[in-house]
Structure 1
Amino acid sequence: MTIPAVGLGTWQGLGIRNKHQDVRDSIIYALRAGYRLIDTAQSYGVEPAVGEAVRESGIPRSEITVVTKFPSEWHHDPLHALQISLDALGLDYIDIFLMHWPSAADGDEWNLLPITASPTFVETWKLMEKCVGSRCKAIGVSNFTQKLLDEVLAVATIVPVVNQVELHAFNPNLKLVPYCHEKGIRVISWSTLGGGGEHTPKANEILAHPLFKRIAANHGCSTGGLALSWAVQREICVIPKSSSLSRIEENIHLVTLTQAEMEEINEAHTTIARIRLADHISTLAGERDGEQTIKGWTKQEFGWEDADGNWLT
């Protein structure tokens, strides 16, 4: 398989009025503007709009890569989760089906299980391998680290085709990306433009800091275009979301950075700020035995940090 370098993300936030129509229209516009990769998930609540846009765009289905993800409550039965997405999308097949988070849940997406409880993410992966066929071309993971991938690869018959992770200049994953490439796993980046709103205002510096503005000016592009170009030049796929038609067009046009510019951006997490946006997303946060968790697991269990707080990805 091949996968486009730039796609359109479809997480538009919860409670957005007219979300179905907005998502549908933006995808149709993007596909007609040249996009061929659409990323979504069951938890985004927009799969029906995604499928409708794909069907009505006029672009042959065979030219479009559709990625979707199933939530933690379906770790025990990915085949059923696949059917849920197929029914919602109204499509004959999904190109890439992802485990959205490695942590499983019992019955409800937020009744999260400990890392050792069954189904473990390894058990779920073995069940996912049965999904591959005429209704699902390929399978992958999301929010996995080297630690977790090592465990999957130790038993996998099918190697995950992609690993979708938070990745931006303040969390560049300089160790995780080459690890994935070495294993034949393509990395897809979420939140490549930073952001994070009022809870992580420093993350907005990816679009505002003088370093990024200077390099963007060298190439006559926006700082957003710079951030996407930096990731793609590292052979990472990007899936920026936008409801702005002009920005949708802008995001697909990349520039080529010099090696010196690449290195400056690679080091921004040490010279400007180091931020893991997942740490600040309130809907992911929890507590277990007095320790903060994300989707039910500690940072050490994820493999994001060691016992001393050193970042490992």
Structure 2
Amino acid sequence: MGSIGHPVCTKRFPLNNGGTIPAVGLGTWQGKAGTDNAEELHNSIVYALRAGYRLIDTAQLYEVESIVGSAIRASGVPRSEITVVTKFWGEWHHDPAAALEKSLRELDIDYIDIFLMHWPWATSPDGKKVIAPDESPTFIETWKAMEKLVGEKCRAIGVSNFSQKTLEALLREAKIVPVVNQVELHALNPCLNLVPYCESKGIRVMSWSTMGGGGLHSPIAREVLTNKLFTDIAAKHHCSVGVVSLSWAVQRGIIVIPKSSSRERIDTNIRLVTLTDEEMNAINNAQHTIGKFRIADHIKFMQREFRGKKTLMGWTPEDFGWEDSQGNWLT
């Protein structure tokens, strides 16, 4: 199976600031500078840009911004044609302006297209102390500081890992509506409530781990690539199993940013297929037929014992707005 017969996806989605964004981009979360993977990442970005990709997603946490910037310059593709998205981590919530300067310096580019708050939670400036959801700087205070950044060096701002609950709180006080909300979204965590909510507010959803994270965190997550539901659809459309999930998301109006160092998969991931309504519904219901799974619950370095509870950086699933007090999923 491969991409034979499937054209490169050049689809773009409108954003609430009057701009547009490619439906398919390249993720860059592996290959930090100084490691054996650095050159591989650099080459994969150059290859992707030359193959037609026009969206690159990165983050300060990944420690690859310098590689991303270098690859953009080496690609020969005009900077004006590329949408660059990056994100700042919790220690910068007190000073997003300094975070922006850090990313501009690392990327060595004149401007960032979309600058995201990576999570709603904050830490102390040294990164050692978790700050409770109700303590300063709250994500609302951080957002108000981000609003001042929009201009020549920062064309748009957005959020990541926000739910209806946190967005509702943000929008009550925001002067600028986030252009995107980048969230975990795959067949076992399809965000069937969150996506239409964001659409109603003019916020474009961007998906991370659209293929379930490859089973890195739990065997059930591998089902997105191995279960008969997905392999049968892939066989029918003469495409890779991964492309089934990417196509499902884009068909829902969601931006996808698959990470790959394989040239074959880079070529394949941007060649989407059109799924039938029946196939779309079957994937939407995979959370019931296969099971629910949230990757975020298994990110070990973010797990903290806080105020006598197991949390992610001081936040419970209820704080995030992922679940209600009875444990029912809300997104």
TM-score greater than 0.5 by the shorter chain: yes
**Following the alignment from structure 1 to structure 2, what is the Cα–Cα distance between the partners of residues 160 and 183?**
9
- Residue equivalent to 1:28: 46
- Residue equivalent to 1:38: 56
**Which of the numbers 158, 166, 169 marks the counterpart of 1:140?**
158
- Residue equivalent to 2:9: none
**Letter paired with 2:260:** S
Change in 2 beyond 3 A, CA 1:294/1:13: farther
> Cα offset for 1:195?
2.6
Kept in 1: contact 2:206–2:254 (CA 8 A): yes
Matched, 1:246 2:264: yes
> Cα offset for 1:109?
2.9
Change in 2 beyond 3 A, CA 1:198/1:76: closer
**Which of the numbers 108, 120, 140 marks the counterpart of 2:138?**
120
> Cα offset for 1:156?
0.8
Kept in 1: contact 2:94–2:125 (CA 8 A): no
**Following the alignment from structure 2 to structure 1, what is the Cα–Cα distance between the partners of residues 211 and 224?**
6
User: After the TM superposition, which residues 98-247 of structure 1 pair with which residues of structure 2 at under 5 Å, given as runs?
Assistant: 98-195=116-213, 197=215, 199-247=217-265
Tell me the matched-pair count. Answer: 313
**Letter paired with 1:113:** I
**Following the alignment from structure 1 to structure 2, what is the Cα–Cα distance between the partners of residues 235 and 198?**
26
**Which of the numbers 297, 310, 316 marks the counterpart of 1:279?**
297
**Following the alignment from structure 1 to structure 2, what is the Cα–Cα distance between the partners of residues 135 and 128?**
12
Kept in 1: contact 2:31–2:64 (CA 8 A): no
**Following the alignment from structure 2 to structure 1, what is the Cα–Cα distance between the partners of residues 90 and 257?**
22
How many percent identity over aligned positions? 63
Matched, 1:263 2:281: yes
Q: TM-score, normalised by structure 1?
A: 0.98
Aligned CA-pair RMSD: 1.3
Q: Secondary structure at the match of 2:140?
A: helix
Kept in 2: contact 1:153–1:159 (CA 8 A): yes
Which 4+ stretches in 1 moved above 4 angstroms?
13-16
Structure 2's unaligned 5+ residue stretches are 1-18
Structure 1's unaligned 5+ residue stretches are none
Change in 2 beyond 3 A, CA 1:216/1:142: same
**Following the alignment from structure 1 to structure 2, what is the Cα–Cα distance between the partners of residues 104 and 55?**
33
Q: Secondary structure at the match of 2:115?
A: strand
> Cα offset for 1:273?
1.2
1:158-192 Cα distance to aligned partner (Å, 9 max, x none): 10000000000000000000000110000000000
> Cα offset for 1:15?
9.1
Deviates more, 1:192-201 or 1:279-288: 192-201
1:226-267 Cα distance to aligned partner (Å, 9 max, x none): 010000000000000001111000000000000011000000
Matched, 1:10 2:28: yes
**Following the alignment from structure 2 to structure 1, what is the Cα–Cα distance between the partners of residues 218 and 105?**
37
**Following the alignment from structure 2 to structure 1, what is the Cα–Cα distance between the partners of residues 221 and 214?**
6
**Following the alignment from structure 1 to structure 2, what is the Cα–Cα distance between the partners of residues 69 and 296?**
20
Q: TM-score, normalised by structure 2?
A: 0.92
- Residue equivalent to 2:77: 59
Kept in 2: contact 1:195–1:201 (CA 8 A): no
> Cα offset for 1:52?
0.6
